[in-house]
Amino acid sequence: MKSQRPVNLDLRTIKVPITAVTSFLHRVSGIIVFLGLGIMLFALSKSLGSEEGFADVKDYLTSPLAKFVAWGLLSALLYHMIAGVRHLIMDMGVGETLEGGRLGSKIIVALSLVAFVLAGVWIW
């Protein structure tokens, strides 16, 4: 079967709409939250196991790398929550148009950036 459609393989020229970017990031943040939950549950289990385990986890969480990882996990959780609220609002019939979707995506990005900065200030 011969297709007459043009094929564009240059990814630099493809314009991805903001709604697609926010949808993709919502899925990625869900995966990060799911994987990060295992890390945090392991740390919780170790810290509740003994006094030495608690001291180990406390020492580990004071390192800059652990703070960065905690900030990343918290940022993913905040983004996923904000985008999830948007999906709930859209399920009620608000913002289902193309322009409403674009506006909702812009609001998600703005709120998420503010939340990321506040989370960073809180952790550090």
pLDDT tens track for 41-93: 999 999 999 999 999 999 999 999 999 999 999 999 999 999 999 999 999 99
Top CATH class of 18-123 equals mainly alpha
Distance CA 124, CA 120 (A): 6
Residue 7 has pLDDT above 90, yes or no: no
DSSP-derived letter for residue 11 is G
Higher pLDDT, 106 or 16: 106
Provide the Cα torsion 63, 68, 69, 73; round to 10°.
140
Two structure tokens written together for 97: 């148009």
Would you say 80 is a known binding-site residue?
yes
Two structure tokens written together for 95: 């913002």
Distance CA 108, CA 69 (A): 22
pLDDT tier, 1 (very low <50, low <70, confident <90, very high otherwise): low
Residue 2 has pLDDT above 80, yes or no: no
Q: What percent of the chain has pLDDT over 70?
A: 98
Provide the Cα torsion 103, 106, 112, 117; round to 10°.
-130
